Structure 1
Amino acid sequence: MSEYQFSGQKDDEKVILVIRQSPWVFFYPGLIVILVIALYLAFFYFFQNKGFAFYSAMATLIIVVYIISRTWFVWWSQVYLITSDRVLSVEQKGWFDRSMSESNLENILFINHEVKGPVQTMFNFGNVRIRASGVVEDELVFTNVYNPYEVQQEIVKAQKEKTGNIASVHESTDKKEEKVVLR
């Protein structure tokens, strides 16, 4: 994966893993699209006025295209990177709202992943939380990533290679959650 390059990449920095959110994040927007289309069909059935049908079809089309394009744009623009030196989180929250957080591997104090609910459990996606010293926010969060355990282990492996620290894994019994504390 070292052929992947990004703006701000250091000369000797290699990309280990590029992570995007699971495609299952399209599930709820997909339900909204189905609901909008169902409402259109219901209105069309009850109000069979040709003028109303045309304008309501155009409004429905605009709403559906907006929901699909915005969801895809946010999904495509949101990326998480694990490199040989750091972890980066580029979060797209809307058309014009983006934030980027990063932490050096040697500053990572704590990593855990969580898989909540039946949908995330069945389709193996969840969140990876990284607590690091020097991060403005409380923690970096990789949200809705596929196979969060493997992502967590890749971060631990990269951190071990960079610093030589040994990680210990703690498993929580009340949630399906594993925690890794780096020493």
Structure 2
Amino acid sequence: MQLQKSGIRVLGIAESCSSREKSHLCGVVMRRDLHVDGFVFGTVTVGGDDATKEILRMIRELNRQDLNLIMLSGCVIAWYNIINPSEIHTSTKIPVICVSYEESEGLVDHILLHFPGDVDRVARYQNLGERTQVALPTGYSLFARGWGLTEKEMTKACRLFTHHGKIPEPLRVARIAARSMTEYLRHETDAAI
């Protein structure tokens, strides 16, 4: 992966939970120079298993041949709707980085508490593998997993795209847009009542 090019494009995807049933996703296409040149939106089921399928649909909808990297804000979203980054990488041939921001002892016990006996969900979570702590130039750290790129490339990408705090810019902008969409839809729903 040629991370030194200023035109490298990352698709950052983040969520904003909007209700007990649905959670909204936003994807932002951002260049290394922080120029934004694309958005895509999606919806997943809270507590469901449709996150991977919806993210793949969002990528197809973008119909971009210039994406160099996909960044996900978390592999476990929408109340244990577990993303399969390996499947996303295999389907798109684009490297995937999944980042999170807090230390964790794992989620197996939490998954089994809320989904007793759901061994498939536990297996999907365990297949994500271990996270790597990445020290950022901002003085903060994040935790990352990568598919289709080396740990060195993953670390460099996280550092290149994080300019403030610990959230990479494509994910920060995607999170803001997802929240704005959620607020807009909530307002529209309230106005219709």
Report the TM-score when normalising by structure 1: 0.28
Relative to its length, the structure with more helix (as a share) is 1
RCO higher in structure (CA 8 A, sep ≥6): 2
Report the TM-score when normalising by structure 2: 0.27
Relative to its length, the structure with more strand (as a share) is 1
